[in-house]
Structure 1
Amino acid sequence: MDALVLAPAAVLGLVVGSFLNVVIHRVPRAESLVRPGSRCPHCGTAIRPRQNVPVLSWLALRGRCAACRAPISARYPLVELATALLFAAVTARIGVAPELPAYLYLTAIAVALTMIDLDVQRLPDAIVKPSYVIGALLLTPAVVAGADWTAALRCLAAMAVLLGFYFVLFVINPNGMGFGDVKLAGLLGLYLGWLGWSAVLIGTFAAFLLGGVAGVALLATGRAGRKTAIPFGPAMLAGALLALFAAGPIAAWYSGLLAPAV
């Protein structure tokens, strides 16, 4: 795809990533995203606009507060860079299409929810619940433009299927899965349903595969025990993004395995 399209998407990702750092820090604490403005968590000094340029300001300040020289975590520019790269990748995958804003929004909340779940092992309702409405509204122009009401019904059906599937898993083993995962599953079903049933299946399977691999790796390295609660939200979100990029090739490969040899 033309760099004239991908470059603005990456820049938008940097800006959104900067805002996501605020979301990641404040939403779990039930703090306002608007007031007060950004401040150094160590000395409380307000961060000036020129000190808040994504990535560049952190590099210019050498990772330290301009006032008290306390270290600023490298996670802030990494979140910004990750969001920029994902925005560019999603734009390359979707193209300039009516559904692009919907999947950029999904990408943004995926970054925020992943970091929050890793930090506090929660998927805040303040992000997940409104995203059902926002996701549906952002996908509506694509439905209208293509008159693809079948895809719209598939979105709703996939949302209901994944909600039901994860709810059953939660009822069977409430200690193995949080109810936040159930609510996130329905949202991911809405988005994966637009891509097709193969994306729903691959995204769901990938979530459990990635979650299992992460759990085994943590156990093997001694960073977790058998009773340690391991956040599943990041695996669900990673599985959904994997399906966005690779559901088509994976489904074609699997169909090839099932096809009889000629």
Structure 2
Amino acid sequence: MYIYFGIIVFVFGIVIGSFLNVCIYRIPKQQSIAYPPSHCTSCSSKLKWYDLVPILSYIILKGKCRYCKHNISIRYPILELITGLLYFFIYVKFGIGIVFMKYAVFISIMIVIGMIDFDTTDVYFKTIIVGIAASIIFLLLHYYSGEFIIDYIYGGIFGAGILSFIIVITKGGMGWGDMEICLVCGLFLGLKLTLVMLFLSFIIGAVIGIILILSGVKSRKDYIPFGPFVVMASVITVFVGQNILNWYL
């Protein structure tokens, strides 16, 4: 039964990953995520249901549009697979319940925000609103299940506060969108895990930044979006953040 549910969760995650791809592509273009129906971004041909089976359709079609033979980015099936795996690992760690739902929603929102930031260097406020709204729903669920929610509120305040302080001190070294991302993270993770997330995001950002500069991909003057580092740190924090706290304390 455990394996059976694991497979279902994995497949469900892959399907959600396909939807996240739609969000990542359409939101920056100010397009509806529901209409028009899925279509080829090259020839605009409406895709049939059998063209939209996550991962499998890409493999069967050999990474090309069925109608115009234009190459389809391999990023689509990779993100679907990653989302499926993340959902599976959340299930393994937390089981099926409110915590699973919370972190599945959280990571999904973070993937959309992070990928859009990576593509455009912008954080779209509508994605932040979705994140805040989702966090409030789960705060209410925590509250009605008898948990104290003040820690999550402190987490949001702390995450947003630290980034705001850095933005003011560095005079634009980071963007206000980064502050908004950390606000959402704090509301989902709580104060202590937000501390871990921020620590990891700065470490990841520093390491990747140094690698990009030394490899010549970026120069010291180039802007490197911080959002993707926060997303990576958030995912790590969901799975091992408490272990890091226990080890440190």
**2:183 equivalent to 1:186:** yes
How many residues are aligned here? 249
Specify the alignment match of 1:77 in structure 2.
77
Aligned residue among 196, 215, 219 for 1:225: 219
**2:243 equivalent to 1:249:** yes
CA deviation profile, 1:183-227 (whole Å, cap 9, x unmatched)? 11111011110xxx4322211100100011110010011000011
Specify the alignment match of 2:147 in structure 1.
148
- Report the secondary structure of 1:62's partner residue: coil
Letter matched to residue 175 of structure 2: G
Specify the alignment match of 1:45 in structure 2.
45
The correspondence of residues 149-228 of structure 1 with structure 2, limited to 5 A, is: 149=148, 152-193=149-190, 197-228=191-222
Structure-2-length-normalised TM-score = 0.95
- Report the secondary structure of 1:99's partner residue: helix
CA deviation profile, 1:45-104 (whole Å, cap 9, x unmatched)? 111111100000111101111111111111110111011011111122222232221211
Letter matched to residue 105 of structure 1: V
Q: Which segments of 5 or more consecutive residues in structure 1 lack a partner in the other structure? A: 256-262
Deviation at 1:158, TM superposition (A): 1.2
Letter matched to residue 220 of structure 2: R
Identity %: 30
> For the residues of structure 1 that align with 2:141 and 2:168, how far apart are their CA atoms?
36
CA deviation profile, 1:213-242 (whole Å, cap 9, x unmatched)? 110010011000011100101111111221
Q: Which segments of 5 or more consecutive residues in structure 2 lack a partner in the other structure? A: none
Root mean square deviation of aligned Cα:
1.4
Q: Any conservation in 1 of the 2:9–2:87 contact (CA below 8 Å)?
A: yes
Specify the alignment match of 2:27 in structure 1.
27
Residues 211 and 89 of structure 1: CA distance in aligned 2, closer, same or farther (over 3 Å)? same
Q: Any conservation in 2 of the 1:99–1:142 contact (CA below 8 Å)?
A: no
**2:132 equivalent to 1:138:** no
CA deviation profile, 1:240-261 (whole Å, cap 9, x unmatched)? 2211111222222223xxxxxx
CA deviation profile, 1:27-50 (whole Å, cap 9, x unmatched)? 011111111111111111111111
**2:228 equivalent to 1:237:** no
Deviation at 1:126, TM superposition (A): 1.1
Q: Any conservation in 2 of the 1:98–1:139 contact (CA below 8 Å)?
A: no
Structure-1-length-normalised TM-score = 0.91
Q: Any conservation in 2 of the 1:10–1:88 contact (CA below 8 Å)?
A: yes
> For the residues of structure 1 that align with 2:102 and 2:83, how far apart are their CA atoms?
15
Deviation at 1:114, TM superposition (A): 1.8
- Report the secondary structure of 2:219's partner residue: coil
> For the residues of structure 2 that align with 1:122 and 1:89, how far apart are their CA atoms?
29
Q: Any conservation in 2 of the 1:102–1:139 contact (CA below 8 Å)?
A: no
Specify the alignment match of 1:121 in structure 2.
121
* Mean Cα deviation higher: 220-229 or 238-247: 238-247
Specify the alignment match of 1:259 in structure 2.
none
- Report the secondary structure of 1:200's partner residue: helix
Deviation at 1:170, TM superposition (A): 1.0
Letter matched to residue 182 of structure 1: M
Point out the structure with max Rg over C-alpha.
1
> For the residues of structure 1 that align with 2:238 and 2:36, how far apart are their CA atoms?
37
> For the residues of structure 2 that align with 1:67 and 1:162, how far apart are their CA atoms?
47
